């Protein structure tokens, strides 16, 4: 068993460059067998499924990088703010997505990993002309 996950280890794991299949292998020991991952796109149950999901993303990505900003945690949970920089293979625009992660811990392992980010905003910002219109509409609501 590897050492328990800490905020410092979390930062090192997710900001390692390049963020590739080897990075996913380094992350694996810190996730419980029964981990549940949730984000705006999907819910994945189990470490093997979580790792497979990440490896699929990496295969489809031309480049993937995370910047971890604020990070705090204790023996029960971790919270991180981050920016993901993603360029997909093929004719797809680059995406920059800001988000927040909340991880629940048990015995030093991540049992629940929940990512919060704006799916609609991230998508709209990649469509020419739609991004400025979307941001203007959101500004009017605020």
Nearest 5 degrees, angle CA 98-CA 100-CA 134? 40
Residue 42 has pLDDT above 90, yes or no: yes
What does the pLDDT look like over 104-140, one tens digit per residue? 999 999 999 999 998 777 777 677 777 677 777 778 8
HEC readout, 82-99: EEEEEEECCCCCCEEEEE
Cis peptide before 77 (omega within 30 of 0): no
CA–CA separation, 44 and 29 (whole Å): 17
CA neighbours within 13 Å on the CB side: how many for 104?
A: 8
Q: What is the mean pLDDT of residues 49-54?
A: 96
What confidence category does residue 54 fall into, taking pLDDT thresholds of 50, 70 and 90? Answer: very high
By C-alpha distance, which of 48, 57, 45 is closest to 27? 48
Q: How confident is the model at residue 142 (pLDDT cuts 50, 70, 90)?
A: confident
What per-residue confidence (pLDDT) applies to 28?
96
15-38 confidence digits (pLDDT tens): 988 888 999 999 999 999 999 999
């Amino acid at each position: 068993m590897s050492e328990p996950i800490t905020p410092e280890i979390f930062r090192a794991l997710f900001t390692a460059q390049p963020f590739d299949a080897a990075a996913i292998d380094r992350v694996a020991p810190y996730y419980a067998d029964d981990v549940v991952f949730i984000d705006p796109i999907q819910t994945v149950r189990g470490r093997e499924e979580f790792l497979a999901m990440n490896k699929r993303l990496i295969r489809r990505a031309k480049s993937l990088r995370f910047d971890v900003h604020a990070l705090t945690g204790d023996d029960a949970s971790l919270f991180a703010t981050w920016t993901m920089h993603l360029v997909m293979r093929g004719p797809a625009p680059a995406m920059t997505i800001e988000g927040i992660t909340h991880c629940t811990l048990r015995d030093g392992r991540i049992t629940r990993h929940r990512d919060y980010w704006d799916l609609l905003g991230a998508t709209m910002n990649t469509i020419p002309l739609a991004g400025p219109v979307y941001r203007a509409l959101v500004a009017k609501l605020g």
